[in-house]
Amino acid sequence: MSSLAGPKVAATSERRRRGLPTWVSRDGLSTLVFLLPLLVIFGVFSWFPIVRALVMSFQETNLVSPPTWVGLNNFVNVLQDPLFGTAVSNTIYFMLLALMFGYPIPLVLAVVMSETRHFKGLYSALAYLPVVVPPVVSVLLWRFFYDASPTGVFNTILGWVGLGPFPWLQDPGTAMPSIVLEATWAAAGGTVIIYLAALLSVPSELYDAAEVDGASIWNKIWHVTLPHMRGILFLTLILQFIATAQLFTEPFLFTGGGPANATMTVLLLIYHYAFQNSLGGDYGMAAALSVMLAAFLGVFTAVYFWLTRSWSATS
């Protein structure tokens, strides 16, 4: 395809005979110029750091002396850190809670919203609005909502129906659910939009056919809509796992890992190793833990890409 212009072909082969490397003569210097931003930016800020993460996880690195190889020491240190177990179980707890709060709500909303006949745009705009609010603003705002005193915003509202006051972020038992609630609020709109698009792709003939067989609305949802959405439901499940495991802003700003490490997640631990150490960052341990998390998430990511690829191939 690169030989778009016929007359140039002769000149190209002429140049090739003169012994220039073939890729220069065929693809031309201008192609290289256009690729340069990609190669430089990805090379320096993506490909190189990815390789470096792997290398660093086997090294002792600080900003002063040259790095030294330490074998698996970083991994052993991470695994022996008592906080590691806490962080892993907290992250899994977080993911499960996020699944419980954040998985059914968008689906129910999307099914109801796709049936509305008026103000369709208003429904989806309202659902998506929290997604565009900067996370820092949402967290700082919700931190105020979660004020544990009886005159806190949520405690005032719950007080109207005789509930509370609840300690929200200040109690190890309720801190994590509180964070998940805000994170769900901030992210659910995106999932609703994905589901709305998926609902449109269910062929309406299937509903017609189900009605001929006397199916009720409930039957149609259960036997037509949901089976058709199986693929996208699995996809959002994986996306949610990948996203929740990497959530940083929310636990960092809400509680910073507290109270009593009840909200210390793997991501906070990585940050803690690298940037909050008074003795200078332990970049090796941070890299080792990142690599472990990446390997774990890599399984999900691989499944995600395999799925999207097989779908785009069939459609």
Place of tokens 């659902």: 127
Among 13, 14, 47, 68, binds other proteins (CB under 8 A): 47
Instruction: Report residue 313 CA to chain centroid gap.
Output: 24
Segment near other proteins (CB under 8 A), from 71-79, 85-93, 96-104, 146-154? 146-154
Phi first, then psi: what are they for 178, rounded to 5°? Answer: -65, -45
Number of residues that bind other proteins (CB under 8 A): 116
Among 93, 145, 171, 233, binds other proteins (CB under 8 A): 145
Residues 6+ away with beta carbon under 8 Å from 295:
none
Q: Does 311 sit near other proteins (CB under 8 A)?
A: no
Instruction: Tell me the closest approach of the beta carbon of residue 152 to other proteins, in angstroms.
Output: 7
Q: Does 291 sit near other proteins (CB under 8 A)?
A: yes
Which 175-234 residues touch other proteins, going by CB under 8 A?
A: 185, 189-191, 193-194, 196-197, 199, 202, 204, 207-208, 211, 217, 220-221, 224-225
Cβ atoms of residues 115 and 229 within 8 Å: no
Nearest to 206 by CA among 226, 232, 236: 226
Could you give the CA distance from residue 4 to residue 112 in angstroms, rounded to a whole number?
A: 52
Nearest to 239 by CA among 283, 194, 198, 271: 194
Complex with other proteins: residue 149 or 173, whichever CB lies closer: 149
Give the contact letters, 98-137, x = binds to other proteins (CB under 8 A), - = no.
Answer: -----------x-xxxxxxx-x-xxxxxxxxxxxxxxxxx
Segment near other proteins (CB under 8 A), from 13-21, 71-79, 162-170, 284-292? 284-292
Q: Which one-letter DSSP state was computed for residue 45?
A: I
CA distances from 93 to 10, 36, 87, 131 (A): 66, 44, 10, 23
Segment near other proteins (CB under 8 A), from 12-20, 78-86, 145-153, 166-174? 145-153
Instruction: Tell me the closest approach of the beta carbon of residue 42 to other proteins, in angstroms.
Output: 5
Beta strands in 122-238 (DSSP E): none
Which 6-45 residues touch other proteins, going by CB under 8 A?
A: 23, 26-28, 30-32, 34-39, 41-42, 44-45
Could you give the CA distance from residue 268 to residue 252 in angstroms, rounded to a whole number?
A: 7
Among 12, 156, 170, 261, binds other proteins (CB under 8 A): 156
Which 74-103 residues touch other proteins, going by CB under 8 A?
A: none
Complex with other proteins: residue 127 or 262, whichever CB lies closer: 127
Cβ atoms of residues 229 and 198 within 8 Å: yes
